[in-house]
Structure 1
């Protein structure tokens, strides 16, 4: 340190010796190969001694040597306190890391509890079992004190009042969350014993059943609600990230949707869960979904929809289900047999609306069942969701069989079903939706869509066959060609979008208006009668 040595030479005896020794000590400390902390501590201490020796000699360092020594001291101080600062930084970062709670199976929550044993174990400060911890959570959520309930064995009235209040609280929450059926939860105390009972109000013979005897799916849902409601409301999980492995595995599809809604509306926690169920995938926020691909290269988690068919199937199924629910299902539904009925009726309905004529009621959605044999199945699905359903059937044997099945099964009233023959002022013996179209127009549609197959062939239609599609099926079969009614139906829909006057004659418009008027009338009758026609 030549700059400082020049200053030290001006120090008079007897202070010169200690000053030179201090400079040598600083030089040795600087040149010493040691770990950063020890090096910094040694340099800080020797620099302090050097400043003391220079000050004792009555010499003041000029700006340049003072700045040099100060820079060395600053560096040494930072190195000597690095581990301490690192520890503080680590503690600070760890404080930012949230608590993670992992759940692979539903919590153990028993429907039977011995209050006397439970209270005694807690008073004796004995370690709690997992079941006892979950019972404490149940008591917290329901708002009762197990010790107080146990002490009131001789005061039945007060005891029952407290338990009735707790029962009402849990019942209210379960009815809000569990949409599968309307359930009532009741706490029943007998001496030191407390039972959690559940019964279904919608059952023909409602019987109280202990929680332990309910379905595994309900017990999972109930236990999850209780434990996590307790833990996230000021408990251990109040700010935790919840990691759930296949939640709702024991629930059916509708209850899984209820669980998903519960996650989104009742928890402030971040919830990360794995699933293979399309009903646990939120289609309206699909961007939060991540796919997990396992290959020879390892496990890859990505927000891009990549992976093999098995990985993507739940995602595809969720989107497909959501599309079908929004495209073909509404609060009011007109179920038709097939897609050709859908094409023809929807295009005519759009035309009537745009022309200022009376269309189907505004909120009614056309729902194709995929064939006459699937009408009852589709109708049952929609009616079970308490949606308004009107059914339009072909007036043929299959249509009448479907009508009889729906009425006999008490799925719909007979007034909620009608046949396409309602389009005619004088109903024919049989009729499909294609019969509502003018026969000459339909003939032109067939000619245009089967031009290549019919080249050089002549069709002979049997006028005695009442339904036009059947007439063409027989005529096509006679010349060795298969007839597909989807072709003229699709062409009809296309022409309706381009120039409706080419395919809609005045008589056919009148018939379609009559049919739609009857559908709307049946809908109003259905609404007036209520959604549950046989109760």
Structure 2
């Protein structure tokens, strides 16, 4: 990690005895050390033992070699010299001794980091409002700052913009044909506009242009000599050109960030990008553009972590990515300093205060206002298939003189079981809304579903699952039907892609029919298609006229019981 001083620090827990035993084994010295009863505990002690052993071997070799050379018999002398060679330190032992000297000199922690980990450590990049381009610069002055490594913060995004535009500053200064310069600048402008302004959806009539002119006496400070590069924005609707740096603060921030990062990513490697309140000066639509850029351009290649208080910077499709940060010390009075809880990071929205939920509530409200008709009574279901089944069975029951689901309920599919707790928590915190759930349940989801009422965000009576009406521990809405009836829907909808019609005897025994079907399709997959449980629900809704009489009395009883429980909550 790095602190504010930008100095890298690393910590590793290393059991040196195990590391040393591995190195001895690799060098073929384990049995030798055991036989010679050489003991050690740290790598420094192991290195010292190897040094001492090497010295003893050198002495023994010298003595043996001297004695051999004193022998008068040639054959005996040759054999003694050969035997003396065996007393020398082996190449493997020497290599290990020298290696340990290097390791101990560096430190085992730093050695392991430099040798094995450094290549996997990502580069952290931080961007905030200080990296704002001015939109114009003096080319000679910029080149001088680059050479002396004294760049301004505002230079960095401008250099990124120049690089993104594929401009060569030396060519701009040395060109000797006006036509060639104009062609180069025009091509650059077209390229840059396509690269950047596709993520600025609120004004499609802008284009970015560059102009290169000799400096004038009354140009801005630092631009009164040499050659100046001007970044311009042309608005085709108003037929007006303005300097890039004089555009709105939000536009300049957006442009600066895209230009700056385009240069950073060229360095290669893994990047963790840290953004502090990105898009703070952008309005809602522009913040949506920034989210789109992050999702399409950054996420596939890099990790992005950003802080925000804006609901427009919360992607309602991915509430699972949100982490709520709270300073708990501000909520507690009359507490000793040593007991202050400090800042906490939460993944569970059920554990945070109302104030911290505001950005999420805003994001959810924006999504709902665009996609749903929200009434005072909201019934949360997992997906569109639940919506189709409920809306189809309800009028069927009413046509039989039985109780259907009241029209006072607004059925709200939230797009998956993982989003149910988040939506329930956010909607349930609104005092003017009556919120209930009717959702699938599996054992892995039980704790999060129980937390909806245990955390007192919904009343327990308002948390209903399909298992409540089937008498099982796990159940989906598909289990409200008889299993053979649901298979008829699947067979009819997927007739063209099934290898053969599926029967109950084909299915493995599982608690839920969808789980059984999934297991079956893993061994007998559909041809040129993937199973989607929305399609059988659509088939059911489209063919209810012929399917109604085939529903079992037990199925109708189960749905009616669910509707009665829900209507009683109004």
TM-score normalised over the length of structure 1: 0.48
TM-score normalised over the length of structure 2: 0.46
* Larger gyration radius, structure 1 or structure 2: 1
